[in-house]
Amino acid sequence: MSKEKKFIPVMLTPFKKDGSIDFEGLTALTNYYLDNGAKGLFANCQSSEMFELTSGERLRIIEHVMKIVDNRVPVVAAGNFGDTIREQAGFVKQVHDTGVNAVIVLTGLLAGEKEGNDILEHRINELLSLTEDIPLGFYECPLPYKRILPPQLLEQLVQTGRIVYHKDTCLDIAQVKEKNRLCAGVNGFGLYDAYMVHAVESLEAGSAGLSCIQGNYFPELVVWLCNNYNNPELQEQVQLVQQFFIDEMEVMHRHYPQSAKYFLQQAGLPVTTYVRNKGGSEVPELVKKEMEELALRYSRIAKMLI
């Protein structure tokens, strides 16, 4: 595991006002992440509205991101879509063929909510066997329901040498610490925490970095935290940033991802506020007000870090 802590953005999908994919906006967004210090990208994820995309659109988005990135940083993308494990394996191979560094497996698509971890483990092993030597990762995606990988199962899977990435959403720092402890020392593997409430403690516990929606508002602040979380001369500022993420958690989640698209639009990115699950671009006045107030509070934090 690299000592450098990395911010891996969960990428948004820009849409045109008619709801089609805006590839020019996707180019600008990809470069925006990289220009602000991202060390990798997670394409085709929940923030990308992946469940609102067709199979063809998912692949075209990933291919476009790979073209723009041009090997500057690693790219991962979700890929186990399908009604059966065999179908999921087929799409994993298609995603891998785009050139991504790893294909991410959504844990909630592997077993039903009432099925036990024995079934989950069996299906993961089946998927591993059907996908040859393709590097994989896991994402405890909240949709269709959140399926948390037990630390011991994650350790067992990491030991296969196939698992290079884990996006953790358990929200439990004790579990995060245990996962990092059990998987420590395995070359090529990294746990990336999504929960910014315990970001500093997670990084201190060995997490490879952060992969959070907050990076779709101010990626540079997440990067700053990754770079400075353990700087003894900046601990007062580190705690201010950590508290900022705690205090602003609710407002950033409430109307996401439309709120993030509006926030970025106001920051100058050429993206619309269209989201497919809402079927339009109209941003409620309340959201606009909340985002304007968030930008003001952020500017106060940013000044303290200069």
Asked whether 254 and 262 are in contact (CB, 8 A), the reply is no
**What is the mean pLDDT of the segment spanning 197-216?**
98
Domain assignments of the chain as residue spans, ordered by start? 6-230
User: What is the DSSP pairing of strand 102-106 with strand 163-168?
Assistant: unpaired
Share of the chain above pLDDT 70, in %: 99
pTM, entire model: 0.95
Give the pLDDT of residue 280.
78
Which one-letter amino acid corresponds to residue 30?
A: T
Q: How confident is the model at residue 306 (pLDDT cuts 50, 70, 90)?
A: low
**What is the mean pLDDT of the segment spanning 90-104?**
98
Given a cut of 60, whether residue 7 has pLDDT beyond it is yes
Query: ω into residue 257 within 30 of 0, thus cis?
Result: yes
Given a cut of 90, whether residue 2 has pLDDT beyond it is no
Q: Give me the phi and psi of 178, to 5 degrees please.
A: -65, -40
User: What CATH number belongs to 6-230?
Assistant: 3.20.20.70
Nearest in space to 123 (alpha carbons), one of 144, 133, 138, 135: 138
Given a cut of 50, whether residue 1 has pLDDT beyond it is no
Which one-letter amino acid corresponds to residue 119?
A: I
CA distance 213 to 217: 8
